[in-house]
Structure 1
């Protein structure tokens, strides 16, 4: 079997952008190759055309092109032509694409198309309670209607997307994202920097960072030794129009808390694991995800996680067993969970051990690769 992925991001030095979608695609691509599947990845909106090999995965970089009129249409047709050429030349059996911005809208691919519900603009707008641009909805709906089937990383993401676009739930298969567990080993879970909180993700309102500032203020008031480390790029704030969400976040910290915050910005992915291992507790108070890769990565490294309690997170964590679920607006409850973990080393190790077990049984990419293969075969 030969599977192709269309995406705007992929973890490779020659690719412009890589985030959670990129990581999930690479984890799956590498696992599929190990099982004898041929994998090609088509990465659009790149600086130059190129073909590169990485972990036995062939990556096609497709350069951004501008047209005099209707670039949104003609660039899609350009991608379509290139992908169909490779489909015919290399006998690709099936193409997978993301729902975000409906990149496959108006494409006519020569093999079945499966769309993975990484999170459409419509999905995130609904969770953010903001209005979506009409053209984005049109593109996403056209792309989804043109697909043969859908894969959702959580039941929640699948159900919400089905409601938004009028999709048949019978055509949505839930398959979680997975991790290469041998790449996530923490042999000394008892060694960490005490009272250190870690947040990883874009500094943006929908990730609950403004609530995190208030949570940390409460934590510091009870524990002056607490430290908050933030990793991720800054983003403009859609609600206020400010150019920096971090500036808004910073303005919310008390004087005492502000002195205990360390914002590292974007750092190489290879360095993130060490920060997770050194942290005492990882926090992800997000309002909008489909699953949340950094949550399961932290769990795999045996870290106690205090996560959001919204929809998708209930499929990742069993509250009080392998992590905690608290709504981001419940400031006192959220900070109480953090302080409880800070004050009980045995509890931290028990929760961390349970987190690793949860990831091993639910998010093992080797097991999930077989599930994906079976689903692909059912669609051919």
Structure 2
């Protein structure tokens, strides 16, 4: 039996995020006797900081990208069809709104193609989560289109957490049509002993000082970084030796706005922004505590990475995070926007090195037991073979 020929299909910007780690690293680790993967990305020609291509080249992935110039770019769709024909693709694996739409358009012209979809994030946003009614209505329209397309795709649909599945069902999809495939992490590559605490040296963090950090794009609304800033201000009042850092970039003037907000809270001398970094092993190794203040998530790669590297986690108890972090065992969980609770949990860890060590060790064991990336890749290969043989059933 020949390997299933798959187009792993994604749209993003700049250096990518959690789903991109999953896609590119999966392409490296797939058993090539079972699956041939061609990674294809939609690329905005105006994005001068796009670097997925360099990342893919470093990993040795079969990669190409096509220019996507507008909301519905028919030339882009034609370019994708050409790749599908040249590579003799059997299964398209979509990962986001745009590739969900383009996958449907392609299958109308190429009905022999099998389409599968992984939902990485399905946030239950409401009106108060948006600055304007127009933005909320645009979200509702996109969500309605996405649900209609998912109903027309081959089943099962994949969700990265049980919470993501529940949100999809709440929006009208059938529970029996959705399977959960948790994200995973390469437990051999993500080991604490491979990292160096370079960020502490770069930022001038003294041996008797602590560093609390997160990894997130500044512009991502669901990360709720304003709460992270307020936690920093709360802790700094009584613990001036605690420093805070956000590792990630932002659109336009988002970074400048973030720095102004930190200055308004009076913690600019204890707060750092590094911009985009790729040396994440060294970044996490520099943290004493990883803090995530998100309003919603799928199953965040950042928490997987921190736990794999034995960094104790404090996070909001959102979406799939409680499926990963056991409160009081491998980390601490708090309600969203609860600055007092988040601050208290960070302080408790900082004041108790034995507890930090205990949480870190237990977190690593949890990752090794339940979130191995190699196991995830084998299950994904099973799904690819299932979809490739869909017609024969």
Q: Which residue of 2 aligns with 1:274?
A: 282
| Residue 94 of structure 2 corresponds to residue 97 of structure 1 | yes
CA contact (8 A) 1:309 1:327 kept: yes
Which whole-Å CA distance do the structure 2 matches of 1:22 and 1:232 have between them?
Answer: 15
Q: Which residue of 1 aligns with 2:67?
A: 63
Which whole-Å CA distance do the structure 2 matches of 1:354 and 1:176 have between them?
Answer: 19
Which whole-Å CA distance do the structure 2 matches of 1:137 and 1:160 have between them?
Answer: 12
Change (3 A) 1:336 1:43: same
Q: Which residue of 2 aligns with 1:333?
A: 341
Q: 2:320 aligns with which of 303, 312, 319?
A: 312
Q: Deviations over 1:57-79 (max 9, x none)?
A: 3112212356xxxx615246325
Query: TM-score by structure 2 length?
Result: 0.81
Q: 1:246 aligns with which of 250, 258, 264?
A: 258
Change (3 A) 1:361 1:230: same
Q: 2:214 aligns with which of 175, 183, 199?
A: 199
TM-superposed deviation, 1:212: 1.2
Which whole-Å CA distance do the structure 2 matches of 1:76 and 1:144 have between them?
Answer: 21
CA contact (8 A) 1:213 1:252 kept: no
The count of residues paired between Structure 1 and Structure 2 equals: 356
Unaligned runs of 5+ in 1: 10-14
CA contact (8 A) 1:151 1:173 kept: yes
| Residue 271 of structure 2 corresponds to residue 265 of structure 1 | no
Aligned partner of residue 317 in structure 2, secondary structure: coil
Which whole-Å CA distance do the structure 1 matches of 2:67 and 2:287 have between them?
Answer: 40
Unaligned runs of 5+ in 2: 47-52, 131-135, 201-206
Which whole-Å CA distance do the structure 1 matches of 2:333 and 2:33 have between them?
Answer: 35
TM-superposed deviation, 1:80: 4.7
Which whole-Å CA distance do the structure 1 matches of 2:92 and 2:230 have between them?
Answer: 44
Change (3 A) 1:41 1:132: farther
Change (3 A) 1:161 1:359: same
Q: 1:144 aligns with which of 150, 153, 177?
A: 150
CA contact (8 A) 1:200 1:294 kept: yes
Q: Which residue of 2 aligns with 1:355?
A: 363
Aligned partner of residue 324 in structure 1, secondary structure: strand
Q: Which residue of 2 aligns with 1:116?
A: 118
Q: Deviations over 1:313-367 (max 9, x none)?
A: 1111011111111123221111111111111111111100111111111221111
Change (3 A) 1:212 1:321: same
Aligned partner of residue 42 in structure 1, secondary structure: strand
TM-superposed deviation, 1:6: 0.8
Q: Which residue of 2 aligns with 1:12?
A: none
Change (3 A) 1:307 1:201: same
TM-superposed deviation, 1:375: 2.5
Change (3 A) 1:34 1:81: closer
Query: TM-score by structure 1 length?
Result: 0.84
TM-superposed deviation, 1:225: 0.3
TM-superposed deviation, 1:152: 0.5
